[in-house]
């Protein structure tokens, strides 16, 4: 089985496949569009996990290292699977090529979980890391306001790895700083490549980069950030934004506040990522001069069916307004979620219901198509 196929994504609602991207069709040997609307049991092979169900918790993630799923020709293909509940009915599944196991010992040793820091460093040095970009939109105006750069590892054996397979093992190591610096450099380069790709003259597409507190607190962080912003054209720095992760914990809040202020003065706003989930986030909001919050998907996913999640989202939006912070909701899975957010006064969002993470070369075309035909929840009429 080839290990360089791109990952696939598909959603399962009420045991039916509701959406599937090109990667899922390729991995399962289905023609474009042919998976959509099919019952999920068509994917199942002997011993496969039951894809239609996950525990009720909105934030529940489930991983299967090697799930045998049937291809269009009836063959069983071994895939890695990650399931994430988007709302009470819908599960988003990510699938990627998995190495075949050779007995129980191999099953315990091979796979992303066994990757060492040395292997991660080698992968970074070998140029195996990639960025994809998930659009952020103004839900009310039907306009794209930016994109989040998301790091992926195109591993020569394990295929396309998401951050959960390698970031946790390096977040307390200097290697997280090296990966973060590469992401900043590559995102800045891509911003320059896009400079002439937008149809609107002079349009700038802000790109948000996840940043570890450990990386932010480096003594030379501002110096290196300036270098990335101004590389090639010091008179026209690229429009980067930073999304501060909660872990590892900020060691010196006063110093972090100074650095974030310096970033803001350079035109680089800093937001708090996954707000509402961590114990330190309220302390960060109170102490750090951040410009915005990313509302965690676990609350957004429950908006439609859980009055407690709706109350939490309403309270977090009020809290953000009191601190004069912009809010972007993560995990917008359906038009119904977008409408529910708009009813609560949240006008900015991102998620698979809007767009999956896209390759850099695909983003300009997607932006043009999205803005030419605003989605049903938008109040903005099509241009022209």
Quick one: pLDDT band at residue 88, thresholds 50, 70, 90?
confident
HSE (side-chain half, CA atoms, 13 Å) at 198: 17
83: helix, coil or strand?
strand
- Percent of the chain scoring above 70 in pLDDT: 90
Q: For 174-229, write each residue's pLDDT tens digit.
A: 999 999 999 999 999 999 999 888 767 777 889 999 999 999 999 999 999 999 99
Is a pLDDT exceeding 90 seen at residue 112? no
Phi, psi torsion values for 232, nearest 5 degrees = 90, -25
Query: CA 182 to CA 100: how far, in whole Å?
Result: 32
Is a pLDDT exceeding 50 seen at residue 42? yes
Comparing 40 with 327, the larger pLDDT belongs to 327
Query: CA 350 to CA 333: how far, in whole Å?
Result: 9
Query: CA 143 to CA 338: how far, in whole Å?
Result: 14
Q: For 125-162, write each residue's pLDDT tens digit.
A: 999 999 999 999 999 999 999 999 999 998 887 777 88
Instruction: Give the per-residue pLDDT at 21.
Output: 87
Quick one: pLDDT band at residue 107, thresholds 50, 70, 90?
very low
Comparing 110 with 149, the larger pLDDT belongs to 149
Quick one: pLDDT band at residue 299, thresholds 50, 70, 90?
confident
> Which long-range contacts (C-beta less than 8 Å, at least 24 apart) are formed by 184-187?
184/209, 184/211, 184/224, 184/225, 184/228, 184/240, 185/228, 185/231, 186/131, 186/149, 187/131, 187/149, 187/240
Phi, psi torsion values for 95, nearest 5 degrees = -125, 150
Instruction: Give the per-residue pLDDT at 200.
Output: 73
* Contacts (Cβ under 8 Å, ≥6 apart) of 200: none
110-114, 183-187, 226-230, 242-246 — which one is most confidently predicted on average?
Answer: 183-187
DSSP conformation class of 358: B
* Reported pTM: 0.79
CA-nearest of 45, 82, 350, 353 to 207 is 350
């Amino acid at each position: 089985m080839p290990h360089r196929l791109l990952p696939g994504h598909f959603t399962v609602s009420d045991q039916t496949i509701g959406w599937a991207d090109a990667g899922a069709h390729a991995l399962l040997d289905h023609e474009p569009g042919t998976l959509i609307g099919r019952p999920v049991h068509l994917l199942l092979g002997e011993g496969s996990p039951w894809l239609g169900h996950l525990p009720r918790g909105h934030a529940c993630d489930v991983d299967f290292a090697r799930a045998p799923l049937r291809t269009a020709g009836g063959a069983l293909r071994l895939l890695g699977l990650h399931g994430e509940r988007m709302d009470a009915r819908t599960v988003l599944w990510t699938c990627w090529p998995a190495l075949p196991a050779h007995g129980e010992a191999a099953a315990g040793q091979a796979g992303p979980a066994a990757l060492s820091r040395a292997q991660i460093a080698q992968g970074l040095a070998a140029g195996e890391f990639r960025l994809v970009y998930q659009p952020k939109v103004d839900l009310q105006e039907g306009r794209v306001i930016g994109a989040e750069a998301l790091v992926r590892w195109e591993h020569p054996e394990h295929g396309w790895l998401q951050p959960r397979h390698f970031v946790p093992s390096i977040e307390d190591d200097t290697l997280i700083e090296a990966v973060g610096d590469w992401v900043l450099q590559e995102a800045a380069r891509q911003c320059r490549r896009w400079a002439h790709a937008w149809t609107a003259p002079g349009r700038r597409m802000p790109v948000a980069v996840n940043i570890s507190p450990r990386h932010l607190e480096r003594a030379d962080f501002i110096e290196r950030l300036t270098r990335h912003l101004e590389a090639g054209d010091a008179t026209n720095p690229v429009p980067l934004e930073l999304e501060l992760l909660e872990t590892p914990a900020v060691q010196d809040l006063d110093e972090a506040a100074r650095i974030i202020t310096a970033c803001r003065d350079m035109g680089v706003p800093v937001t708090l990522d996954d707000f509402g989930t961590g114990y330190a986030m309220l302390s960060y909001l109170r102490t750090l001069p951040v410009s915005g919050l990313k509302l965690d998907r676990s609350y957004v996913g429950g908006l439609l069916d859980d009055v407690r999640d709706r109350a939490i989202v309403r309270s977090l939006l009020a809290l953000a307004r009191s601190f004069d912070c912009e809010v972007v909701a993560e995990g917008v899975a359906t038009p119904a979620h977008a409408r529910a957010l708009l009813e609560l006064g949240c006008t900015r969002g991102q998620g698979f219901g809007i767009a999956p993470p896209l390759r850099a070369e695909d983003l300009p075309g997607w932006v043009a198509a999205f803005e030419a035909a605003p989605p049903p929840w938008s109040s903005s009429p099509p241009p022209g």
